[in-house]
Chains A and B, each alone.
Chain A
Amino acid sequence: MSKVHVTTSINGEQVEFLCAPEQSLLEVLREELDKTGTKEGCATGDCGACSVLLDGRLVCSCLVLAVESQGHEVTTIEGIATEEGLHPIQRKFLEHAALQCGICTPGLIVATKSLLEKHPDPDETTIRYWLAGNLCRCTGYDKIIRAVQDVAKELAYPA
Chain B
Amino acid sequence: MGAFAYVAPTSVDEVLTVLSEHANLGKRAQVLAGGTDLLVQMRGIDREARTIVDIKKLAETNRLTISDEEVFIGAAIPSAELNENETLVSLLPGLLEAADLIGSTQIQGRATLGGNLCNASPAGDTIPAMIAVGAICQIAGSGGVRELPVEQFCTGVGSNALGPDEFLLGLKIKRPPPGSGSAYLRFTPRTEMDIAVAGCGVAVTLDAGGTCTAARVGIGAVAPRPLLVPAAAEALVGTRLDDAALAAAGEACSAAASPITDKRGTDVYRRKVVGVLCRRAGAIARDRAQAQAKQV
Q: A residues touching B (Cβ–Cβ < 8 Å)?
A: 1-2, 4, 20-22, 24, 43-46, 48, 51, 54, 57-60, 62-65, 67-68, 70, 111, 114-115, 129-134
Contact = CB atoms under 8 A, between A and B. Distances in A.
7 contacts: A21-B5, A21-B6, A21-B52, A22-B49, A44-B40, A57-B80, A65-B39
Contact of B105 (A1, A44, A68, A133): A133
Contacts of B109: 54, 57-59
Contact of A132 (B4, B6, B80, B104): B104
Nearest to A55: B109
Given A45-B40, A68-B54, A60 B6 contact: no
B4 A20 contact: yes
A65 B4 CA distance: 12
Interface string B174-210: 0000000000000000001100000000000000000
Given A22-B42, A57-B78, A67 B193 contact: no
A45 B193 CA distance: 11
Contacts of B49: 22
Contacts of A134: 104
B103 A133 contact: yes
B4 A22 contact: yes
A139 to B, nearest CB: 18
B22 interface: no
Contacts of A60: 106-107, 110
B43 interface: yes
A129 B39 contact: no
Interface of B: 3-6, 8, 32, 34-36, 39-40, 42-44, 49, 52, 54, 56, 78, 80, 103-107, 109-110, 192-193
Contacts of B106: 45, 48, 51, 58-60, 63, 111, 133
A54 B105 CA distance: 13
Given A63-B110, A67-B8, A70-B8, 5 more contacts: A44-B40, A45-B36, A46-B193, A63-B40, A133-B103
A4 B6 contact: yes
B3 A114 contact: no
A44 to B, nearest CB: 5
B110 A64 contact: yes
Query: Chain A contact residues: over half helix, strand or loop, or mixed?
Result: mixed
A48 B104 contact: yes
Contact of A64 (B4, B5, B35, B104): B35
Contacts of B107: 45, 60, 63, 133
Residue among A48, A59, A132 with most chain B CB within 10 A: A59
B257 to A, nearest CB: 28
A21 B3 CA distance: 9
A65 B105 contact: no
A126 to B, nearest CB: 11
A58 B4 contact: no
* A-B CB proximity, top 10 nearest: A133-B104, A21-B6, A22-B4, A21-B4, A132-B192, A57-B109, A60-B106, A59-B109, A133-B106, A67-B6
Nearest to B47: A22
A44 B44 contact: yes
B78 A62 contact: no
Contacts of B78: 57
Contact of A130 (B32, B54, B103, B105): B105
A129 B32 CA distance: 27
Nearest to B43: A43
Given A2-B3, A21-B5, A133-B104, A59 B110 contact: yes
Contact of B35 (A2, A57, A65): A65
A45 B4 contact: no
Contacts of B42: 22
Nearest to A128: B192
Nearest to A110: B106
